[in-house]
Structure 1
Amino acid sequence: MTLTYRPGDSVAHRLDPRTKLGFQVAFAAAAFAHTTPAGLAALTAVAAGVLRGSDLSARRALAEYRFAFPFLVGGPVLSALTLGPPWVRWEPGFDTALASYRVVLVLLVSAAYLRTTPVRDSRAAIQHLVPGRAGRLLGTGVGFVFRFLPVLQADLRRIRDASAARLGDRRGPVDRMRLVGVAGLARSLSRADRFALALRARCFSWNPTLPPLSFSRADVPALAAGLALLAWAVV
């Protein structure tokens, strides 16, 4: 799956996680500040460069985020439709479509981060940036999410495949959503209980020994790009 760390030797793999986190924040700020055709065209080129530097294809990344597509596509359609004449207003629909595309670009950059950053490094970066107990709590939560989300995705995929093997794909969409949703929720709660038990059995520590982090010359271009994006967002 794309939404998990994969070892590699790409440019993004060699960057410090704090650099990548800062770049993501700057990219998101620029995307929200310049939601125009010209701005999004420039950010598309940046996102393409990020994916290339991460050895990650856009097709694979988008496949992992396909659950968000109904909302990203449905938003512009609902914004364009009206309950009376003229029935369709193109300008609101176009503005919402730009906002949806902005979200897609941010998701692509996030996928590159997840693909190239170990969970322990992400936790270490957050605890370096946010000091004290708040940083430990935030870092622990992020680490749990990064480890737990791929497991839940795999569970939902197995539930959907099992339902299709039992001719569940011949049911209506509402019935399919209900079956997969209820089974997925039950599986998530069960996994959460086992996860909590495993943490207690392993004497979970709030302050573990984290990997050392250090900036290198490879981080300089990425930091400069992040600062440029942040300045563009502010301007």
Structure 2
Amino acid sequence: MSAELVIRTVEDGIATLTLNRPEKLNALTAASFEELRAHLDALAGEDVRCLILTGAGRSFCAGHDLEALAGGDALASRHAEAETIAQLEAFAAPVIGKVRGHCFTGGLELALACDILVAGENAQFGDTHSQWGLVPLWGMSVRLPERVGMARAKELSFTARRFSGVEAADMGLVNHAVPDEGLDEFVAHLAAQISANSSGSNRIYKSLYANSRALGRAEALRAETDMPFGMPGDALERLTRR
């Protein structure tokens, strides 16, 4: 029986999805996306307060498996893979991407769907599509400029250059770059901070932030005042807990 390509664990309301092809630097295939999507579907029915996405071994994800690419894997399943990344981005609870080692191309596209990114200082990022004569299919041309600005995104894509976790933090691609040996502890503390707060508030925040991207500024301001997503169910209990 083959090993799981994505491993799911849940503890104290914090779920972790781990890409699990360490011998291939967690390179992605259509099958990887099928498992990722199945796990996201399963977690949607659980009381998850925070989700962590990471990779097994020494890398987050080196991108799409090049052998699979040569065999037409990406073109055959590009819509399903793009939809899975969109599903990750729309996951109701806050999503933290924990990045060590390689985070290239398709792996970077996965990372960009996370709400918060934390990287080891020595992590290596890069959009290497142009190195291989490829083009993005999963949202890179939209999500990368949202993080770093259009001019910076163009430079990164045109040059396909690699850059460190420290550089990624400096340009705003990741929220934090921390010493590699402290990455697990830092992310665990961050996830605990998030999960200690109202899951209802955080879910509504995610919906409001998504609204603000889809609507004009004036309309988004008005929509927030109209409380389109209501109030968290635990508001009264938290207010009276003091």
User: More helix by proportion, 1 or 2?
Assistant: 1
Q: Does TM, normalized by the shorter one, top 0.5?
A: no
Report TM bin, short chain: under 0.3
Q: Which has the higher contact order (CA 8 A, sep 6+)?
A: 1
TM-score by length of 2: 0.26
What is the TM-score when the length of structure 1 is the normalising length? Answer: 0.27
